Structure 1
Amino acid sequence: MSEVIFKSSMAEKIEGFIRFKRSQGYKYDVAPIYTLRYFDEYCLTHGNPTEYSERLVTGFIIHFQEKRNFKKCDFISTLREMGSYLRATGNSSAYVPGKEFQTKRHVKNVYVMSEEEIIAFFGEMDRYYYEKRDDQSVCHCGRNFVYPAYFRLLHATGVRTFEARWLKSSDVNLDQKYIDIMNSKGNRDRRLYIRDDLADYLIKYHEQIIRMFPDTEWFFPSVEGMKCENAGAFAAFFNKIWKKTPFYIEGAKHPTPYSLRHHFATANIIRWASNGEDVHAHLPYLMRAMGHSEIEATYYYVHLVQEHYGMIKEKCSELEDLFPEVIKYDENF
């Protein structure tokens, strides 16, 4: 199951824990295996105990910090998750490190848009283009079609901003209602099925674009009909529309186009939790839809939900012991 061979009396428990984590979609290599390897060695040199006791675990924490010069946040999550796993599999006496070893989560203060803000944003955008429909300086080169369709795709599918901008028409099958995201982050591909209403909207959109750019291969072409490299133009238009909403406050933190991806993820988690569904069981599907290579990145959004939506915090709290505590944020994850 791994290149590391565990030799202590805890080996079977350690290997079972690793199998469980990998079955949940985690790679569980490098740092966690490093921690468990030294935990196994510590057991061998400290009486080779068979129980995951408080004395054993806290002794290892102190030893590991002193000898390996590691900070708590580098390994404490692995130890806590293993204790929770052992309890969940029948070892009720297994020790789970308490608040004295609590690590501070790293969750960047991103902007999570509410449903009211989403409605206001799209309402103002549609109103803007309706009022400016005869203004060629505003509607030049199909921007009045490209921007609304682009932002609706972000909102409905949660794709990364560059994935949408670089989407080719050949990767969009609106008759079968799916889009293929090709060669994305990590050179990975994925297929996303879209709702009927979005497919109908995009069919009408694409008809307009083909009239303007009959030879373009890009689904959201630039003003020249080429690949849309200019992310700043989309961000500038997003900000322009956001300022028209009643939620805009000068000088305050505001959303960005990427906030639509955040909203897609958090809205799904909130819906599952509010409906009493198993959020844990749904996360692998969300992971694939978002294009994450590891489920740890997807669990970042559970932390966001807990930070911003207190009414479902309790419904997600039972996941805490079996998921990572420290989540690294990446604007393009």
Structure 2
Amino acid sequence: MSALGEALTQYITVRRALGTRLAEPANTLRQFVTFLEQEGSAHITTALALRWATARPGVQKATWGRRLSMVRKFAAWWSAFDPQTEVPPRHLVSSRHRRPRPHIYTEAQTQALMAAAAQCRSPTGLRALTYTTLIGLLAATGLRPGEALALDRSDVDLQNGILFIRETKFGKSRLVPIAATTRLALAHYAARRDALCPHPQTPAFLLSERGRRLAGSSVRRMFVRLSRAVGLRPANGSPRAGRGPRLQDFRHSFVTGRLVAWYRAGADVTRELPKLATYVGHTEVGLTYWYIEAVPELLMLATERQSGRADTGGAR
């Protein structure tokens, strides 16, 4: 078996150990490796990947894109071991919509965004307080932005440190325990909020300057302004949001941070992952496994863990 063939076998083993069935990609990638061997290439190149992906006539371009996407994931993983591997860039051919690669916020970036939010001006000062709290809450809990905005006062149990998330995505509700530091931050916000806005127009926990529930569109516009202020988006003067880190990426960062910490600590991630999936409200563990594929550092850690188990005969 060639080096690429052995690499593919390891790649499939790692991905399946992480809970991915990988039925179609496994067969498709074997065809790709056979093609490379026939071409006499010991390395993945963009030119060969594109030629192979588009070699099938009479199919939709989406099929070409899907084939190339499978190669891209394999190449991204193998490039960590083989520096001569080329990872085909995205959008070489049109394809179906894919989930955007998440931006993983560093601690410094989160702090910078909160500091920028604290500088927001408003007549009462409630805007700065609310946006600082919102960013901190998303970073600390991994809530979906819509879940945080939908919280009512009755959903936030500050005495026991529990958030009640009501019938959000997929129509499910769940209880979300929060850390002591998060509980104290929310308690501080609630006290200051009530002093600044004693007669709100809504039962919402997070209030706008006018005492109303925050609107998702307004929050997204404000976040673009904050992102530009700290350099996470280009300050081009355009009113359009453009591309860049999103509020949703705090959720991705939360999940990724937990997974990285578990891998580095030597924890049994397979056992811990269902707990994390329940905490963040995923309907199935496979949705949480997506983060391992989407974040190169996680896939590398997972590969190292799987390789270590293979070297010790699967012992844990």
**TM-score by structure 1 length?**
0.58
Amino acid at match of 2:126: G
Q: CA deviation at 1:146?
A: 0.8
- In the alignment, structure 1 residue 112 sits paired with structure 2 residue 60: no
Q: What secondary structure, in the 3-state scheme, does the structure 2 residue paired with 1:192 have?
A: strand
Residue matched to 1:100: 30
Q: CA deviation at 1:259?
A: 0.8
Residue matched to 2:3: none
Deviations 1:23-75 (A, max 9, x none): x999xxxxx9xxxxxxxxxxxxxxxxxxxxxxxxxxxxxxxxxxxxxxxx8x6
Q: CA deviation at 1:315?
A: 3.3
Q: What RMSD, in angstroms, separates the aligned Cα atoms of the two structures?
A: 3.2
1:76 to 16, 24, 32: 24
Deviations 1:277-332 (A, max 9, x none): 12111110111111111111111111122x355652523667xxxxxxxxxxxxxx
Contact 1:177/1:199 (CA < 8 Å) preserved in 2?
yes
**Could you tell me how far apart the structure 2 residues matched to 1:308 and 1:249 are?**
26
1:231 to 210, 216, 219: 216
Q: What secondary structure, in the 3-state scheme, does the structure 1 residue paired with 2:175 have?
A: strand
Residue matched to 2:271: 281
| Unmatched 5+ stretches in structure 2 | 1-15, 33-66, 74-96, 237-241, 308-316
Q: What secondary structure, in the 3-state scheme, does the structure 1 residue paired with 2:164 have?
A: strand
Contact 1:107/1:303 (CA < 8 Å) preserved in 2?
no
**Could you tell me how far apart the structure 2 residues matched to 1:139 and 1:265 are?**
36
2:114 to 125, 128, 142: 125
Amino acid at match of 2:142: G
Matched ranges for 1:185-204 at <5 A = 185-204=169-188
Matched ranges for 1:1-333 at <5 A = 76=24, 99-100=29-30, 104=70, 108-115=99-106, 118-126=107-115, 129=118, 137-138=121-122, 140=124, 142-216=126-200, 217-228=203-214, 230-249=215-234, 253-305=243-295, 307=296, 311-315=300-304
Amino acid at match of 1:100: R
Amino acid at match of 2:157: N
> Structure 2 vs 1, CA of residues 225 and 127 (structure 1 numbering), >3 Å: closer, same or farther?
closer
> Structure 2 vs 1, CA of residues 25 and 165 (structure 1 numbering), >3 Å: closer, same or farther?
farther
**TM-score by structure 2 length?**
0.61
